[in-house]
Chains A and B, each alone.
Chain A
Amino acid sequence: MAERRPNRASDADRDAAVTRAITRIPLDYPHRLAWWLFFLAALGLLAVFLVSVTVLFARGVGVWGNNIPVNWGIAISNYVWWLGIGQGGTLISALLLLVQQHWRNSLNRFAETVTVFAVICAGIYPILHLGRPWLFYWMAPYPSTMGVWPQFKSPLAWDFFAVVTYLTVSIVFWYVGAIPDFASTRDRAKRRSAQVFYGLLALGWRGAARHWARWRQAYRLSAALAVPLVVSFHSEVSLLMSAGPIPGWASTVFPAHFVAGAAFSGFAVVAMLATVLRKTLGLQDLVTAKHLDMLGKLMLVTGMLTAYGYFAEAFNALYSGEAHELQTLRDRFAGAYAWSYWGAVILNFVPLQLMWLRRFRCNPACLFLVGLSGAVGMWLERYMLVVTSLYRDYLVSSWGAYHASVWEWLLFAGTVGLFMVGFLLFVRLAPMMSAFEIKAAIFEHEESVDV
């Protein structure tokens, strides 16, 4: 780095190049045709979402396949899955900010966007699952004329507050982190409409030193609060399973197992989107081989932690010697839904082993495929966890089967559309990387080399 020092003009040019590379995307989007094709596909899936929700509202949850004993089918396993995907974004953004890993600056904005839309997809599932979804506001604490209050000892109320808090905090954190880049976009905008749009979003930001100082305080404190929030959220999800007397749901490894699995699926999706975005938008200078390398390592660490959770669950069941726990373990290994167990184990942990080697971590296609495998594998894991425990519970007389109906599958496809529409609009309209933090990191790096 030292030999670059005398050439001061090039530093300013590079600072400008970083901002221009990022702000040109919302201001003058390249590859519009590809974007529109993706967006039309996403809109098609969103239409599927609207149709399946309409059918659900018109005919009731009877159109789904869940019933006693498996009253938590895909609706709840998808809730857990989407939440887990959201968690990866917050961890990349907030945790790596606090431990000063500057490489996060190329990934955090769109990782946080993944969080926001994944949490929206997750949050609608418990509402749709209510039976009378139009009364969902009964879960909010307000002085109702009926004189009733939410039941705060119920996991449903916990979910409501957890989702509302997580969604609000994710959006606020995303927005506060993006204000200075909205200002950059405003200042680069040539069209009046874009100047007004980004001008309003920038809130009049002018980069004053006092504003930066307070911004740092608020941003770091929010990050410090967001990290325990995500960890607590997935622990809460595991807790609401433990709250039910069901075999296979009461292991003490659950909170940690859920958090690790959630982070794993989140990193997997962020890795997939990072490889796609850098390729389609030509951002190889900003999302470099190092970023892919780090994402691969994060997937490997959290994936292996998840694998430990599988081991500990099986060990707990065997060690307990309890007949129903052993029954559930046998059902997972060889029962009617064993495909979901082995599918999860194979897709989660077999391709993942490639991530031990740097060559594969830095290969975008390979990273994408391992990420895809992890995302699908974690979906199977959530499905397995819900269904294999419920279909044969402690009450042998109530054993039964579960088959998801076509409306559940269509709704699932629809939530993917909901996610994609939101994410594609973000890619089109917002500066998707933290330009000012990249510049600050470059400056601080040079300062430290100087000393």
Chain B
Amino acid sequence: MSDRKAGDRIYGLVAEFDRPEKLLEAARRAREAGFVRFEACSPFPIEGLSEVIGFHEPWTPLATLLGAIAGVALGYGLQVYAAQDYPIDIGGRPLVAPPAFAIVTFEFLILFGVLGAVVTMLALDRLPRLHHPLFELERFHLASLNRFFLVIEARDPKFHPRRSRDFLEKLDPVRVDEAPFAEAQA
């Protein structure tokens, strides 16, 4: 498993918060403290959290643009190719007819743009994924209801079982838990 560094017993430490503002503050402090392998989980997208964790990723928009461009090239190219490979002369009109080809080209643009965005999103998220060590935590199901979680992974270079726990305890959490690896993987 890529989540695991040799010798780790646990996946990480998990602090639970009851308000989104606290998670925002905790994520900011974790970043300032130099943690790099931490994750903030929330039941809904929190405005401003992506800036706090330093998310500046161009890949999904870029893939959308490239998908759209590829769609245009493929759609138009397909029609031009088909018109040469199987020419049908209708009343002497040109074989390659841009006005008539515009519609299918546009459909390809949209289709490949949307697929580019969604496939890239899932690939970067490493989803779909059948299991995750966090799901072992008894209370983590609240991450999709009304609780907010900050996870510091054990493979973070600055991770220390005791000092990291102290750090999390100071952030006014509801509680701090250890996230174990599942028995089957151990």
Chain A residues in contact with chain B, CB under 8 A? 8-9, 11-13, 15-16, 19-20, 141, 147-153, 157-158, 161-162, 164-165, 168-169, 172-173, 176, 180, 183-184, 186-188, 199, 203-218, 221-222, 225-226, 228-229, 232, 236, 239, 436-437, 439-440, 443-444, 447
Contacts and interface: CB of A to CB of B under 8 A. Distances in A.
Contact of A226 (B39, B114, B134): B114
14 contacts: A11-B19, A141-B78, A158-B104, A164-B107, A164-B111, A176-B118, A176-B121, A188-B145, A203-B128, A207-B143, A209-B50, A214-B60, A436-B144, A443-B47
Range of interface residues on chain B? 35 or more
A15 B111 contact: no
A211 B134 CA distance: 15
Interface stretch (B2-10, B84-92, B154-162, B163-171): B84-92
Contacts of A218: 60, 64, 117-118, 120-121
Nearest to B130: A204
Interface string B6-48: 0000000000001110000001000000000001111111110
A232 B103 CA distance: 9
Nearest to A14: B146
Contact of A15 (B82, B88, B146): B146
B53 A211 contact: no
A186 to B, nearest CB: 8
B12 to A, nearest CB: 12
A203 B86 contact: no
Most buried by A among B61, B103, B104, B124: B103
Contacts of A228: 110
B148 to A, nearest CB: 9
B100 interface: yes
Contacts of B86: 147-149
Nearest to B126: A204
Given A187-B142, A232-B106, 16 more contacts: A20-B145, A141-B78, A158-B103, A168-B115, A199-B130, A206-B143, A207-B41, A208-B125, A209-B46, A209-B50, A213-B55, A214-B125, A217-B121, A221-B64, A440-B46, A443-B47
Q: What does DSSP make chain B's interface, helix, strand, loop or mixed?
A: helix
A210 B55 contact: yes
A154 to B, nearest CB: 8
Contacts of B142: 187
Contact of B60 (A199, A209, A217): A217
B108 interface: yes
Given A210-B125, A439-B44, A183 B145 contact: no
Contacts of A209: 27, 39-42, 46, 49-50, 53, 55
A153 B100 contact: yes
Contacts of B118: 172, 176, 218, 222
Contacts of A148: 86
Most buried by A among B90, B111, B114: B114
Contacts of B115: 168, 172
Contact of B41 (A9, A152, A208, A437): A208
Most buried by A among B88, B93, B124, B145: B145
A440 B48 CA distance: 12
Contact of A157 (B20, B104, B114): B104
Interface in B93-149: 93, 97, 100-101, 103-104, 106-108, 110-111, 113-115, 117-118, 120-122, 124-125, 127-132, 134-135, 140-147
B101 A152 contact: yes
B110 A229 contact: yes
Given A162-B107, A209-B41, A225 B113 contact: yes
B61 A169 contact: no
Contacts of A444: 47
Given A149-B82, A150-B82, A440-B44, A19 B145 contact: yes
A406 to B, nearest CB: 35
Contacts of A207: 41-44, 143-144
Most buried by B among A15, A204, A215: A204
A440 B40 contact: no
